[in-house]
Structure 1
């Protein structure tokens, strides 16, 4: 953990900010805001990323995920006073910012609103954007929390507005901290109240130079995401995780009976999140391309290993499981999704449909090339004919030799 002590903020005293750095691109942010007496007045710890759909110079639409924020500053974060409520202000990258506003009533405090600003003039993030400039999305929340309680929401929360999808998880926040001490009383979000998870058993291979012992084929589980009362995402798959950390290889079979699924469905992106007691999150992020096909664009994982360490990896530049919109993607054979050198996912009996699910059922499947055995028919026929020709040639040669033998000189 790297900590920064920033300059005094007017009305707030010193701000102590800690940014937890890891392999995952979506960093955990931690803010401990103190007043003029150096007592904590606001505490927050959370993870977030943003998906933005924008028009390109070619009059098409691209989708970009903003999760690697680089250098972060917190200028403008305040404890609040009688005129102004507490505020968390985060700045990152060229022209990107995020603000959360709070207010207080007699016995509660509220997370009133969230504002996210992004800069389409940033050529690194939006290299081909048609319109350049800073755009802002404001969301009204009005989440009420008992005064002197710590708000917790480990589950994924999603906000969507104006082609921007905001994802939040592992959230801890308390505004109006009493007596400088963060409360031990937790107020859970509704999603956490309904989530139940159980242990996932996995095996670690100690040898750093040997290949992990192959495990049995994992059991296929069926996972779904709902949008209101309707199912918007379906996935059936057996999952086997291959992890290498500190030269130690692990093979982990996901047990669907002890794995919980959540997620979100949007017009051009969809998220399936799996978690358990040892898997904080395993995210499969799907996207639409060319307005007529979908594919697996991103995988994020954070989980606890048997040695107590946390393994986190993210890759938002993948291209797997490509199929037309309105259909599902199917691959019964073993398939490997290579997220990084240290993390691969083997899938078995896979079928997934992240968009246009009708009546909670899969649409017609597009099969992967591994399952397509139609090419085997001409190969088998050709091999059979080749074998027959070889037999005929051999028989002919043998017959000719016997014929010559009858006329040899005695």
Structure 2
């Protein structure tokens, strides 16, 4: 078996100049290495071939009780022990190991006509202090997650250039520029490709930047484009999201989401519910809803139960995290989280509803605007929202001073009327005495 690693060449150009500046600013920190693994059988013929890039975003707890995000990228020096060819009865395995006790593997099974990835196993070691600074939990941590790869016809090569991701247990795995074939027949890599959903065959070919391209672009004089007033961004479409635990729905959410990014200049991004996939976890006292909008934007909402030992228990939104990637090369454009929220508070067993626009301040560079919100992260019954506790009392608080003002106004009117009639009666009485 051979495994070859090399630094990636020039990054593909992003679609906006702001993204390019961000990439240039983080090029050293987020440098990635591509791996090419060529697994051989007993006859020295290729039986499994893979070439890809990947990166991990890991959330961990520190000794102070705070949570931090760590980025783990593949270095130039890795090992590949344990990779196996597989056969009709045994799964093929692609495995790599790197740095201070980190490892990643995926197994493949096949039928008479197709092969597909089954499970991904990722182990990260928080003893790696260069990555996990001040980590509270020490030692290797392993997660296993079901791969979302569709079945691929035997002798076809699976190709996916765009970024894909899988989230589980505080870890987001990002993959891009994948070329893969398991159960290679007769030692020859297939010539027919099976593309992932994210790759659109009709998209224009990407031209890699070269010295000639850059020189031409910098010396060519272009006529200024006509200035047009920017179109206002409409409110986002409302999406319906749910999570299941077994056969039962355990979380329901209806919300329109809009990201307000202000790193370079204000940018409003509407999340399209039609392209958004849902993941997350349900529990007795915590629940997490994770959304992937299909355009390398990932949003997570974490809910907690407070007063867990009291008779009257309530839930609330405690944490929100957002990751924005460049969908062409997987580099992180923005990663932000806030775990100090106390929003969307409602009684356990009820849902929280707010039709008006609300704003969640993640950090100075990012806000999330929500529209037509209704959420129930616990105790969902019969796949339906329970009675809603509306945020309208926040608005209705103005009714009290208005009502008091109206009552005082009415009292003043009554006093004036009493004075007027009393004065008139007094004048009439004076005429009679005269």
- Scaled to the shorter chain, the TM-score interval is 0.5 to 0.7
Partner of 1:339: 362
Which residue does the alignment assign to 1:355? 378
Whether 2:5 is the aligned partner of 1:15: answer: yes
Aligned to 1:78: 80
* Pairing partner for 1:99 from 89, 98, 104: 104
Q: Distance between the aligned counterparts of 1:335 and 1:217, measured in 2?
A: 12
Aligned residue in 2 for 1:407:
none
Q: For 2:371 and 2:172, how far apart are their aligned partners in 1?
A: 28
Q: Which residue of 2 aligns with 1:149?
A: 157
- Pairs within 5 Å for 1:9-408: 12=2, 14-18=4-8, 31-33=34-36, 42-50=50-58, 64=67, 66=69, 68-69=70-71, 73=75, 75-78=77-80, 86-91=94-99, 97-100=102-105, 114-119=121-126, 129=136, 132-137=137-142, 139=144, 146=154, 149-150=157-158, 152=160, 157-159=166-168, 164=169, 166-168=171-173, 170=175, 172=178, 174=180, 185-186=193-194, 215-244=233-262, 246-247=264-265, 249-254=266-271, 256=273, 258-267=274-283, 268-275=286-293, 279-288=295-304, 293-295=315-317, 297-302=319-324, 312-318=333-339, 319=341, 321-323=343-345, 324-368=347-391, 371-388=393-410
Which ranges in structure 2 are unaligned for 5 or more consecutive residues?
Answer: 12-21, 39-45, 86-91, 199-225, 309-313, 427-434
| TM-score when normalising by structure 1 | 0.60
Looking at secondary structure, tell me which structure has more strand per residue: 1
Q: Is the 8 A contact 2:58 2:71 kept in 1?
A: no
After superposition, the C-alpha distances for 1:291-328 in whole angstroms (9 at most, x for unaligned) are 563415223254789xxxx9943322242634354332
Contact 2:57–2:71 under 8 Å retained in 1: no
Unpaired runs of 5+ in structure 1? 1-10, 194-205, 404-410
TM-score, with length taken from structure 2: 0.58
Q: Deviation of residue 82 (structure 1)?
A: 7.7
Q: Measure how far apart 1:30 and its partner are.
A: 5.3
Q: Structure 1 residues 52, 252: CA separation in 2 closer, same or farther (over 3 Å shift)?
A: closer
Equivalences, count: 347
Cα RMSD after superposing both structures: 5.5
| Secondary structure of 1:31's aligned partner | strand
CA distance in 1, matches of 2:116, 2:256: 44
Structure 1 Cα separation of the partners of residues 267 and 305 of structure 2: 34
**Secondary structure of 1:316 counterpart:** strand
Whole-angstrom CA distance in 1 between matches of 2:233 and 2:272? 13
The alpha carbon displacement at 1:16 in A equals 1.5
Question: Does the C-alpha gap of structure 1 residues 33 and 252 become closer, same or farther in structure 2, counting only changes over 3 Å?
Answer: closer
Find the structure with the greater CA-based Rg.
Answer: 2
Question: 1:14 and 1:371, CA in 2 relative to 1: closer, same or farther beyond 3 A?
Answer: same
* Alpha-carbon separation, structure 2, partners of 1:336 and 1:135: 38
Structure (1 or 2) with the greater helix fraction: 2
1:181-239 deviations in whole A, cap 9, x for unaligned? 89762365xxx69xxxxxxxxxxxx999x9x7655544433233344543232221233
1:202 alignment partner in structure 2: none
Q: Look up the SS of the partner of 1:69 in the other structure.
A: strand
